[in-house]
């Protein structure tokens, strides 16, 4: 009787251990299935290769894009492979720099004439400056306007520099949206018979 009870206890103990082992195996299989589903859910096809979102997003580091754009305007856009934005960046800088140079040259030019009028009040009192024929008050107004416009467009150039940095940084973040083929956020022309031709922001899921 004693041996029968001891044998029963050993059998129950082995069954309990077997049940725990089966439960562990089920949990392990469930975890593997879950991880495989997650891996499948974060993969994309690029041609014939399958690339995970993590590895794809790692190619476009927003910090690197911001750093490159800060070092050289347009380099952040090149890092993000948005080469079509580079002419816009350089064209914008070129245009703004030309405007700043134009007003700066005008300030220097008319400031010299203004100093001449101030130093020769008797000579310029009747006919004005011998070069342009402008009076002292007219030259002051022109110099002030040129200086104001030059400073104004200098500030705009600084904002444009910051804007292209922000564009590179945000564009690197938005690279993840390119992974979902059903999600499209883009600006495209739109025609409405009642309102005419315009631009619209289309979001498709």
Q: Model confidence over 166-186: pLDDT tens digits? A: 999 988 888 765 555 555 555
pLDDT grade for 69, boundaries at 50, 70 and 90: very high
56 occurs within a structural domain: no
Contact 80, 175 (CB under 8 A): yes
Task: Between 137 and 185, name the one with better pLDDT.
Answer: 137
How many folded domains does the chain comprise?
1
16 occurs within a structural domain: no
- Residue 67 domain boundaries: 61-204
Distance CA 200, CA 197 (A): 10
17 occurs within a structural domain: no
129 occurs within a structural domain: yes
Distance CA 50, CA 138 (A): 70
Task: Between 133 and 10, name the one with better pLDDT.
Answer: 133
Contact 68, 108 (CB under 8 A): no
3-state secondary structure of 203: strand
101 occurs within a structural domain: yes
> Among the listed ranges 59-73, 99-113, 184-198, which one has the minimum average pLDDT value?
184-198
47 occurs within a structural domain: no
19 occurs within a structural domain: no
162 occurs within a structural domain: yes
């Amino acid at each position: 009787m004693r041996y029968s009870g001891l044998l029963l206890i050993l059998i129950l103990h082995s069954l309990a251990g077997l049940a725990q082992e089966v439960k562990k195996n089920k949990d392990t299989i469930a975890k593997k299935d879950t991880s495989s589903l997650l891996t499948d859910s974060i993969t994309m096809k690029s041609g014939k290769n399958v690339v995970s979102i993590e590895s794809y997003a790692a190619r476009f580091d927003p910090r690197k894009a911001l750093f490159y754009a800060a070092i050289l305007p347009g380099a952040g856009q090149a890092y993000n492979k948005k080469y079509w934005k580079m002419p816009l960046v350089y064209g914008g800088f070129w245009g703004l720099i030309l405007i700043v140079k134009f007003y700066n040259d005008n300030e220097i030019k008319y400031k010299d004439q203004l100093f001449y009028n101030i130093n020769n009040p008797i000579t310029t009192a009747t006919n004005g400056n011998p070069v342009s024929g402008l009076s002292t008050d007219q030259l002051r107004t022109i110099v002030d306007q040129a200086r104001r416009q030059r400073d104004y467009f200098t500030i705009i150039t600084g904002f444009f520099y910051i804007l292209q940095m922000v564009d590179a940084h945000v564009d690197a973040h938005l690279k993840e949206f390119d992974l979902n083929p059903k999600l499209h956020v883009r600006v495209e022309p739109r025609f409405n018979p009642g309102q005419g031709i315009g631009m619209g922001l289309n979001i498709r899921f």
